[in-house]
């Protein structure tokens, strides 16, 4: 079926481009020659290019000749209350004892006995004076006790304040040191940033050089491949071109290929007369390659 379609394609092309159509027998003969020669070219190219050829497909154009399409592969919780426990007796402060009035009462009793003969009014006056004196003593003692208690509280508050000031000073020092550490880290980061920028520039330059080097290498490889393909085709035509008997003298044998990694296409057009000269030994494959018309697009 495939051969039939190929034959039909050749026939249609022949009817389109030729004023003198070939017979069915001529077309069948050409189809056979094309099939055989495309296998020859494919085998030769795979050998000469180390397997960089994927496929070769040929077809015939009337009045033009044979065309072969070559496919390449190619926070802090501090509780200050814990530090001031047991401060009730701070600086020797202790609970002020209540005054002992027993001796005073005894004196009053003795005075009463001694003044038995004194008038009752004088006795009452003296007794009242003693009572007032005792009351004043009690008030003074209470005031003294209250004063000691206030002093105790003030001393305790003073120690609490001193401790809190000490803690605040320590925190201020820690904060200052923290600021210094941060400034040092910022300076280090700035230095690293500058170093990274320098490395980035160097890497970019190196990548650009590597890219240019790879492009140059690829271009050289593709040029070598193009030359290798051209010479391989010329050798195949010199060695096996006599099998293309169905190609007329005024027709050509053309090859189209594209080196891998390139969009540019190359076309080689060989004259039938030059192919016959090479087959007969009049010219060699190198001269045949030079005589080929080359196109690139």
Within a domain: 23: yes
Total of domains in the chain: 1
Q: What is the pLDDT of residue 221?
A: 80
Within a domain: 185: no
Q: What is the pLDDT of residue 116?
A: 57
Within a domain: 275: yes
Q: What is the pLDDT of residue 25?
A: 81
Spatial separation of the C-alpha atoms in residues 54 and 159, rounded to whole Å? 96
Within a domain: 243: yes
Spatial separation of the C-alpha atoms in residues 256 and 61, rounded to whole Å? 14
Within a domain: 19: yes
Residues 6+ apart with CB under 8 A from 48: 228, 229, 231, 232, 235
Q: What is the pLDDT of residue 101?
A: 56
Spatial separation of the C-alpha atoms in residues 238 and 277, rounded to whole Å? 8
Beta-carbon neighbour count of residue 117 at 10 Å? 6
Nearest of 93, 49, 96 to residue 74 by alpha carbon: 49
Q: What is the pLDDT of residue 97?
A: 59
Within a domain: 141: no
Query: pLDDT 10s digit of each residue in the chain, 297 long?
Result: 333 334 334 333 333 334 346 687 888 888 888 888 888 888 888 888 888 888 888 888 877 888 888 887 764 444 444 544 554 544 444 455 555 656 656 666 666 666 555 566 776 777 787 788 888 888 888 888 888 889 888 988 888 888 988 889 888 888 889 888 999 899 989 898 988 998 999 998 989 988 888 888 877 887 888 888 899 999 999 998 888 888 888 889 999 887 665 667 889 999 999 999 999 999 999 999 999 998 888
| Chain position carrying tokens 């605040």 | 168
Within a domain: 17: yes
Q: Is 206 exposed, middle or buried (0-12, 13-18, 19+ CB in 10 A)?
A: exposed
Within a domain: 135: no
Q: Which domain holds residue 264?
A: 2-74+224-296
Q: Are 224 and 4 in contact (CB under 8 A)?
A: no
User: Which structure tokens are listed for 94?
Assistant: 């202790």
Residue 154's Cβ-side half-sphere holds a number of Cα atoms within 13 Å equal to 6
Spatial separation of the C-alpha atoms in residues 223 and 64, rounded to whole Å? 28
């Amino acid at each position: 079926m495939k051969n039939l379609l190929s034959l039909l394609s050749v026939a249609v092309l022949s009817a389109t481009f030729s004023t003198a159509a070939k017979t069915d027998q001529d077309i069948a003969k050409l189809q056979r020659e094309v099939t055989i020669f495309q296998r020859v070219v494919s085998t030769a190219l795979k050998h000469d290019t180390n397997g960089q050829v994927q496929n070769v497909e040929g077809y015939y154009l009337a009045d033009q000749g044979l065309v072969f399409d070559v496919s390449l592969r190619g926070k802090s919780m501090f509780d200050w209350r814990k530090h001031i426990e047991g401060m009730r007796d701070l600086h020797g402060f202790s609970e002020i004892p209540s005054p002992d009035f027993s001796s005073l009462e005894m004196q009053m009793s003795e005075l009463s006995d001694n003044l038995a003969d004194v008038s009752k009014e004088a006795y009452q006056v003296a007794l009242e004076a003693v009572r007032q004196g005792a009351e004043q003593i009690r008030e003074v003692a209470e005031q003294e006790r209250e004063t000691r208690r206030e002093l105790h509280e003030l001393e305790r508050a003073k120690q609490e304040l001193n401790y809190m000031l000490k803690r605040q000073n320590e925190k201020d020092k820690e904060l200052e040191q923290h600021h210094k550490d941060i400034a040092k880290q910022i300076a280090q980061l700035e230095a690293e940033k500058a170093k990274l920028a320098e490395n980035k520039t160097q890497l970019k330059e190196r990548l650009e050089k590597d890219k240019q080097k790879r492009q140059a290498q690829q271009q050289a490889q593709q040029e070598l491949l193009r030359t290798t393909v051209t010479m391989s085709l010329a050798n195949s035509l010199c060695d096996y071109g006599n099998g293309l008997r169905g190609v007329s003298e005024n027709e050509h044998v053309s090859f189209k290929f594209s080196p891998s990694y390139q969009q540019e296409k190359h076309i080689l057009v060989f004259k039938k007369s030059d192919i016959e000269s090479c087959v007969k030994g009049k010219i060699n494959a190198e001269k045949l390659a030079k005589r080929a018309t080359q196109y690139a697009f």
